[in-house]
Amino acid sequence: MIEAYKVFRLRKDGTLGPLFIGQSIRVPVGEWIKAQGIRTPGFKFRPGWHACSTQSAPHLTLKGRVWCRVSLRGAQKHERPPSQGGLWYVAKYLKVEEIFK
């Protein structure tokens, strides 16, 4: 299991959701969620939950969004440019452990 950090949309009702792909998904806190492979025009197909190794994603705005500490299972490492947060993980399963508001 890997500890990582992920930015989620924070809805008005207090629930969490993905930023871009699968926006209708509601991500509960404290429960393992299996990733879905959702093909979306304009996005490279990288099935899995994407998370950063550190709480850094300079390419994203935090307006209406929150950082969360997450646990990952079945994750692979992907090196990205520092401007995109550096090391990413793409995981088969994700669990939100803590919301940073």
- Predicted pLDDT of residue 55: 94
Q: Among the residues of 25-96, which ranges form H helices? A: none
* Average of per-residue pLDDT across 16-25: 94
Q: Helix, strand, or coil here: 82? A: helix
- Predicted pLDDT of residue 84: 87
Residue numbers of the domain that contains 29 = 2-100
CA distances to 27, 63, 71 from 91, in Å = 15, 25, 10
End-to-end, the C-alpha distance of the chain in Å comes to 24
- Predicted pLDDT of residue 100: 95
Give tens-digit pLDDT for 37-88. Answer: 999 998 889 899 999 999 999 999 999 999 999 999 999 999 998 888 899 9
- Predicted pLDDT of residue 43: 86
The answer to whether the beta carbons of residues 92 and 73 sit under 8 Å apart is: yes
pLDDT band for position 96 (cuts 50, 70, 90): very high
Number of domains in the chain: 1
